[in-house]
Amino acid sequence: MCSKRPLDASVVLIVEDDDLVRMNAVEMLEDAGLTVTEACNADEAWGILEQRTDIGVLFTDIDMPGSMCGKTLAEHVHASWPDIRLVLTSGRHRLTDEEVPDHGLFVSKPYRFRDVLKAIAQAR
C-alpha cells in the first residue's frame, strides 16, 4: 500500500449486489487486516448504518437494485454521518473524485485491490 494516511480500525461496509464480487472484496479487505461487514443493496446498508456506530468506511457499487443507487446512498450517508469515508465503484459509470460526495473517491471496476485499499486510506 502506498498511502500516506494509515488505515484505522474502523469497520468497512461493503455494498455490492453481485455475490461473487462482494465475497472477493470482503476477503481482500479482511486479508488486509480490516474488519468488514456487508450488504447486498443500499436499503440493507442503510439499516446496518442505523444500527451500528462503528462503520468508518462505505465502499459501495453504484448500480444496485432497491430504492437507491450507491451514489444516492453515499449522498445520504454524507448528510447523516459525515465522518464516514466514502469510496464508490462501478463498471458502467466513470465518476471523477469530485463527483463523489464528501471528498470520497471513485475506483472503476474491475478494480485492483491495492487501488481499493489506497482509496479507503485516502478518502476523507
Please give the share of the chain, as a percent, with pLDDT higher than 70: 91
Q: What is the pLDDT of residues 9-68, one digit of tens each?
A: 479 999 999 999 999 999 999 999 999 999 999 999 999 999 999 999 999 999 999 899
User: Which H helix or E strand runs over 39?
Assistant: strand 35-39
CA-atom Rg of the chain in angstroms: 13
> pTM for the complete prediction?
0.88
Distance CA 30, CA 102 (A): 25
What are the b/e assignments for 81-107, b being 16+ CB within 10 Å? Answer: eeebbbbbbbeebebeeeebbbebbbb
Q: Which residues pair with 13 in a beta bridge?
A: 37, 58
User: What are the structural domains of the chain?
Assistant: 11-122 (3.40.50.2300)
Q: Which residue has the higher pLDDT, 93 or 81?
A: 81
